[in-house]
Every structure is written in C-alpha cells, then in structure tokens.
Structure 1
Amino acid sequence: MLLPIACWRDDVAIERSMGQAVAQVDSVSFNRTVVRYATPDGRVIIPSQGVLYPDGLKVGDNVRVEYDQTNPELTRVAGRTATLSLLPVGTFLVSVWIVIAAVVTVLRRFGVRV
C-alpha cells in the first residue's frame, strides 16, 4: 500500500532537480535493473538500487533516464512515473479480497459464524 506513496516521493525529488542522460542497461534481474550513465560533469553513475520503473528493459539497451541531480542514485526511466506502481498494488489488493471472500463463503457454508 505504501509503494505508490514512496514512488510518488521519489518522482517529486527527481522533478525538483532533474538531470537527463542516456544510460546503458548492464544487468536485469528479478529485483533490480542496473544501468550506467554519465552526468554532464563526467561522473559515471551506477545506481546501487537500480533504476525505477524498469519494465521491458534488456541488457545492452540504451535508454533515456531522468535523475535527481542532488542524489544521482535516484534514477528512473524517462517518461515513466509512479502511476505504474498502481497496477501491481491494485492487483495485489484485489487478489487479497478474492481470497478473503472465498474463505468467508466456505466458512458460512459450513455454518461457522463470521
């Protein structure tokens, strides 16, 4: 439930002091997509937590990114925002309610008061 709020907070930080670059995707795994990009002052940044909103990226891809200039570790794929976090959270919540409804239905059929 807090995921969209955290994503929104990160988006606000990026938009407050936005830098843009082209990043190369170095690795893709279940929990993290690592990218590498250079800032205008020549520093090479590899965010330790990966890039935000990495869906669909593949190793070797070049992708535009937006980052917080005061904290370049905070990097997202350009054009993607916290709204992308609503689908997984919504799907999870709907799934939980379906399970709860099924359990309540089964309990009622067996005469257990809920």
Structure 2
Amino acid sequence: MRRQIKALARQLLPSKTPGAPDTPMRKALRWTKTGVWVLVLVVTLQSVLLVAGAWRNDRQIEANLGVAQAEVLSAGPRRSTIEFVTPDRVTYRPELGVLYPSELATGMRIYVEYDTTDPDLVRVQDRNALLAIIPAGSIAVVGWLIALGALAGLAALERRLN
C-alpha cells in the first residue's frame, strides 16, 4: 500500500524521470504539472480565506452590534441592496449590500445586524459565517477534482513518452 502511494505521488508531482533524457516535452510536462499544483493551491487558499473573511466580519459585527429593520431594495443570489435607519435616525445603504443575501426578495422587510462603527458592514439577522462553508468547500472540492483529472492526464502522457 505504501509503495502504491509513493508511486502515485511520483506520477502526480512534477519531477525528473530517472534515466530518461530531459527533453523539451518532458520539461513542458513538468512545468504544466507545477502550474496545476499552483492553481489548485491558490483555489484552496481562496476558499479558506473566504470562510476566514466571513468569520472576521461576523466577529467585527458582534463586537459593535447594532440591530435595525431594513428594506430590501434589490435582491439577487449573491448580492442584495438594502436600506436601513439607525437609532440615531441616519439612513444607510451599504455600498456592497448585505452579507448572506440568499432567499431575499425585493420589497421585503428584514432585520439586519450591523457594525455600529462601520454601518456598511451588515448581515441578515441570525445568519453567520457557517453559510460560507458550503460554497467555499464546493469550490475547493471542484478545484481538486479538476486538478486531479488534469494531473492524471499529464501522468498518462508522461508514461507514453517513457
């Protein structure tokens, strides 16, 4: 079992083939494998940072919590625009919309939680960073599946060269 894992790692990782001449085609395959690994690691890092950013925003809102009723001005699956009035009677329309905007419709009245020190940081009440895990995880899983398929194809091409 351990030998099989090592053999698989040798095929998927960019490395020189012992005893084979280092032709331009082999170099191109090595660089392509390196590129695939870099891309999949960037996609994974992006997914982790997405969840970390959502968690950080939640912590910031909870540290300076304000609650208000808001009206949904426009609704979409990724971005919804709202307007709300703070207790000191200042009206806000957050430039980037509201966090966790799923299942909102134009004209709805909802409660939002916002950062009193930065009222542009707003989320729908009772929603949090846990909602970011599934989309971020899905992106990472799809990225890894595509990368593994590409690496398997490159490994097969490399075997044909040998």
Higher mean alpha-carbon deviation, 24-33 vs 64-73, is at 24-33
**Bigger radius of gyration among the two:** 2
TM-score between the two structures when normalised by the length of structure 1:
0.90
Residues 75 and 105 in structure 2, CA contact (< 8 A), matched pair in contact too:
yes
What are the ranges of 5 or more consecutive residues in structure 1 without an aligned counterpart?
A: none
4+ residue runs of structure 1 moved beyond 3 angstroms?
Answer: none
Q: Which residue of 1 aligns with 2:75?
A: 28
Q: Report 1:1-114 matches (<5 A).
A: 1=47, 2-29=49-76, 31-110=78-157, 111=159
Which has more helix, going by share of residues? 2
TM-score by length of 2: 0.65
Residues 11-40 of structure 1: per-residue CA shift (max 9 Å, x gap): 111101111111100012465211011111
Deviates further, 25-34 or 95-104: 25-34
Q: Secondary structure at the match of 2:68?
A: strand
Unmatched runs of 5 consecutive residues or more in structure 2: 1-46
Structure 1 CA distance for aligned equivalents of residues 105 and 88 of structure 2: 27
Read off the aligned partner of 2:82 and give its amino acid letter: V
What amino acid does structure 2 have at the position aligned with 1:44?
Answer: T
